[in-house]
Amino acid sequence: MRETIVQNNEQKIVVMGAGAVGCYFGGMLSRAGHDVTLIARPEHVNAIRDHGLHMDCMTFQEFVAVHASTELDAIKGADLILFCVKSPDTLATIELIRPYLKSEAIILSLQNGVDNCERIRSVVDNPVFPAVVYVATMMAGPGRLKHNGRGELVIGPWESTEPESNAAQMQVLGEIAALLANAGIPCPVSQDVRRDLWFKFLVNCSYNAISAIGQIEYGKMVSVDSVKELIDALADEVLAIAHHEQINITKAEAKQANDMIANTMVAQRSSTAQDIARKKSTEIDFLNGLVASKGRAYGIPTPANQSVYALVKMMEKFNH
């Protein structure tokens, strides 16, 4: 691993799979003067090329100039890749971009779920780090981003390594964190990012499916007492799986994390809800579906997660 990654604005940053999350972080970096290319769907790319990326954010509203492409070879020469594709597309996408990757290019996985880094690393030898994403965003139209709350990342080394290698990883991560912070993106470096990923996974499993089934915002969800009970049941099952995998999150910590999401992302509908509304496939297999699958493997009952998983899969199947 090289000693430095991004020291100035001459480094090339590519956002692979620039939907709402990728457009927010890529747009913030481009707005700060960095060389950013968004690889996105044609309707977004065409609008961004014509007018720039429209960012309707909580602190500003403007068109931001940023490069955009539909072609995977736009990743050539990238020093830092924000990997934002849906979890079901991880393996296929990393195989497709592998021929264009520099060997030292760093891949930052801004994805839902807890196993994407492992799956990316099974295909490429590049440095791969997870980023825990806390931002409420949606695409309001071609090339138009709507920001509903928060906007930070947590990054860290994926697993314990030898001291020298860990020190090198932490140096690189510190430089990435500084790059992001200078662009207005808070980004602490965690010593235990796997635990942080499981916190976000817990929140996603608690909220995403319910928001999708009801096509409802988080703030409205928690105004219904029976839904709050369901959120608690979903979280308890995730905690049981997490503890089996030696992830130490207490029930009180889980409740605090879930309560904070409801308070800080009141107007947000989950990415799963947005996918259902747009008649797209969801990531539910890598959220509640993964909890149910692990529960079967470990002999841990997960009826709440299995139930919301089944309902979202039904909606997917008949979502025409």
Per-residue pLDDT of 233-273, as tens digits, reads 999 999 999 999 999 999 999 999 999 988 888 888 999 99
* Domain assignment of residue 29, yes or no: yes
- In this structure, the answer to whether residues 275 and 159 fall within a common structural domain is no
- In this structure, the answer to whether residues 31 and 155 fall within a common structural domain is yes
Count: domains in the chain: 2
pTM of the model: 0.90
Are 70 and 39 a contacting pair, CB within 8 Å?
A: yes
Q: What is the pLDDT of residue 8?
A: 54
- In this structure, the answer to whether residues 217 and 101 fall within a common structural domain is no
List, edge to edge, every strand of the sheet that includes 61-64: 61-64, 53-56, 144-155, 128-141, 106-109, 80-83, 12-16, 35-39, 67-69
Which residues of the chain carry a pLDDT beneath 50?
1-4, 6-7
- For residue 286, the domain's CATH number is 1.10.1040.10
Domain span at 209: 198-314
Residues with Cβ < 8 Å from 91, sequence gap 6 or more? 119, 122, 123
- How far apart CA 172 and CA 162 sit, in angstroms, is 16
Are 107 and 128 a contacting pair, CB within 8 Å?
A: yes
Q: What is the pLDDT of residue 213?
A: 97
- For residue 167, the domain's CATH number is 3.40.50.720
Crossing angle of helices 251-264 and 225-244, in 10° steps, is 130
Out of 158, 182, 206, a domain closes at 182
* Domain assignment of residue 193, yes or no: no
* Domain assignment of residue 150, yes or no: yes
Q: What is the pLDDT of residue 162?
A: 57
- In this structure, the answer to whether residues 39 and 134 fall within a common structural domain is yes
* Domain assignment of residue 263, yes or no: yes
